[in-house]
Amino acid sequence: MRSYRAKREDVPEGKYTVEIGKGEKIGEGDDITIIAWGAMVPVAKQAAEQAGQKGITCDVLDLKTLYPLDRDLIAESVQKTGRCVIVHEAQSTGGLGNDLLSVINDTSFLYLRAPIERVTGFDVPVPFFALEDHQLPTPKRVLQSIEKAVHF
């Protein structure tokens, strides 16, 4: 709901399409891959900027399509960086992060230099009101996972 009005950008008039099944690399780096979608994309971008200030450069992937997954995009990036942080808002157990792990396992296992990190909601129903803020992944939590993976 937040990204409904989070920002404005240039949208062409009339008809155009964005290909279903393709993600996009929205940040370029060598040390680690951050995968996110929807409202977690700005969170991932902020974490990548903060990591950049510490000398860690990040590939940031906006998945856009969650099924079917863009396996080529994920594999190409993780094989380059050897590290990965997956960010999603949903609870960790049964979340899509696990499927992304299996894609990386299938395509890029021998390229990995650190265990894959996941930054997700906790395994509880989303708590009420202001407690939501503790459930949601934040740039700070993502940055901690980035550093953990890079310094593994």
Partner 1 sequence: MDVKMEQKVDQTSKTNQLTLVQAVNDALKTMLEEDERTILLGEDIGKNGGVFRATEGLQEVFGEDRVVDTPLSESGIVGTSVGLAVNGFKPVAEMQFMGFIYPAYDQIMTHVSRIRMKTMGHFSVPMVIRAPYGAGIRAPEVHSDSAEALFTHMPGVKVVCPATPYDAKGLLIAAIETRIQLYSWSR
Question: Where does this chain bind partner 1 (CB under 8 A)?
Answer: 1-21, 36-39, 41-42, 62-68, 88-91, 94-96, 99, 121, 126, 128-130, 132, 135-136
CB of 70 to partner 1, least distance (A): 11
Closest CA to 85 of 125, 56, 55: 56
**Closer residue to partner 1, CB minimum distance, 55 or 68:** 68
**Closer residue to partner 1, CB minimum distance, 63 or 112:** 63
CB of 65 to partner 1, least distance (A): 5
- Residue 7 contacts residue 101 (beta carbons within 8 Å): no
Q: What CA–CA distance (Å, rounded) separates 96 from 90?
A: 8
Q: What CA–CA distance (Å, rounded) separates 56 from 49?
A: 9
**Closer residue to partner 1, CB minimum distance, 133 or 151:** 133
State which H helix or E strand residue 40 sits in: helix 40-53
CB of 82 to partner 1, least distance (A): 25
Q: Which residue has the tokens 């099944």?
A: 21
**Closer residue to partner 1, CB minimum distance, 37 or 150:** 37
CB of 151 to partner 1, least distance (A): 29
Residue 90 structure tokens: 């949903």
For 109, other C-beta atoms within 10 Å of its C-beta total: 9
